[in-house]
């Protein structure tokens, strides 16, 4: 038996990296998975790579109309949601304060903070008793790393969400938790030398793998974590801890 047998999971931004690895693992563990992505060609490739019981829904995580279409499809096809992994994110982790513009601020907060809130809000009527909501944040929200003003602030909002929603949804036994990855080896391009400077600060001495985020998400999605509520789980090689 898989740890997610019979569960319905929604994972946003799952066309690459951490969320794609999570979708693959959730399907392998028995879940019916719905993933989202902005580009149809990349989304189709992700669906093919995941295989098994997965449905792709094209949409922008910061667009409320797209979120409504996602919720409508999930409601019609499945009638409920047992796991939400709000992983879609955007932002420039190398944008110092003088470079911030109203446009870059709005674009980052639209997806990371606004999009996450309204995704969960729209899915609330479908969330089953005992459902798990997982928000994907970042160690940048805790470290005060130069150049991350807007990105870190938009992700720090998720910490407040988890605390408040844990209290608000307690009567439905819905648990809300956060994963805060450290430097993960994904397809995201970073400025020259930045990876090396980051790794130098990681006690584990390396970047993490997307699969290591996926296994953390599986723990929070499964019955293994039924007494874990409002927690921020750092999967960061120790970088935010020392």
CA angle 219, 205, 146 (to 5 degrees): 90
Q: Which residues of 100-134 are buried (b: 16+ CB within 10 A; e: fewer)?
A: eeeebbebbbbbbbbbbbbbbebbbebbbeebbbb
Contact predicate 235/210, CB 8 Å = no
| Alpha-carbon torsion, ordered 154, 138, 230, 104, to 10 deg | 10
Question: CA angle, corner 166, sides to 161 and 170, nearest 5?
Answer: 150
Query: One of 26, 109, 151, 165 is an active-site residue; which one?
Result: 151
Contact 100, 61 (CB under 8 A): no
**CA pair distance 178, 141, nearest whole angstrom:** 12
Taking the C-alpha atoms of residue 3 and residue 17, their distance in angstroms, rounded to an integer, is: 22
Give first-to-last CA distance, the chain, whole Å: 38
The answer to whether residue 151 is catalytic is: yes
Return the active site residues.
Answer: 151
């Amino acid at each position: 038996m898989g740890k997610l047998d019979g569960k319905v999971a929604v994972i946003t931004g799952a066309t690459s990296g951490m969320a794609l690895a999570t979708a693959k693992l959730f399907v392998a563990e028995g879940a019916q998975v719905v993933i989202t992505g902005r580009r149809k060609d990349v989304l189709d490739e992700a669906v093919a790579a995941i295989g098994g019981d997965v449905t792709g829904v094209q949409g922008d995580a910061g667009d409320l109309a797209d979120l409504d279409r996602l919720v409508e499809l999930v409601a019609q096809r499945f009638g409920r949601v047992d796991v939400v992994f709000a992983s879609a994110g955007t932002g420039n982790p190398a944008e110092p304060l003088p470079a911030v513009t109203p446009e870059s601020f709005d674009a980052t907060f639209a997806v990371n903070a606004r999009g996450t809130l309204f995704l969960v809000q729209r899915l609330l009527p479908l969330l089953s008793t005992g459902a798990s909501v997982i928000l994907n944040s970042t160690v940048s929200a805790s470290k005060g790393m130069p150049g991350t003003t807007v990105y870190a602030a938009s992700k720090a909002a998720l910490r407040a969400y988890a605390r408040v929603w844990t209290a608000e949804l307690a009567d439905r036994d819905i648990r809300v938790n956060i994963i805060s990855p450290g430097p993960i080896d994904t397809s995201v391009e970073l400025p020259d030398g930045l990876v090396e400077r980051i790794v130098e600060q990681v006690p584990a001495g390396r970047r993490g793998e997307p699969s290591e985020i996926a296994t953390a998400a599986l723990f929070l999605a499964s019955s293994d974590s039924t007494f874990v509520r409002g927690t921020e789980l750092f999967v960061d090689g120790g970088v935010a801890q020392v």
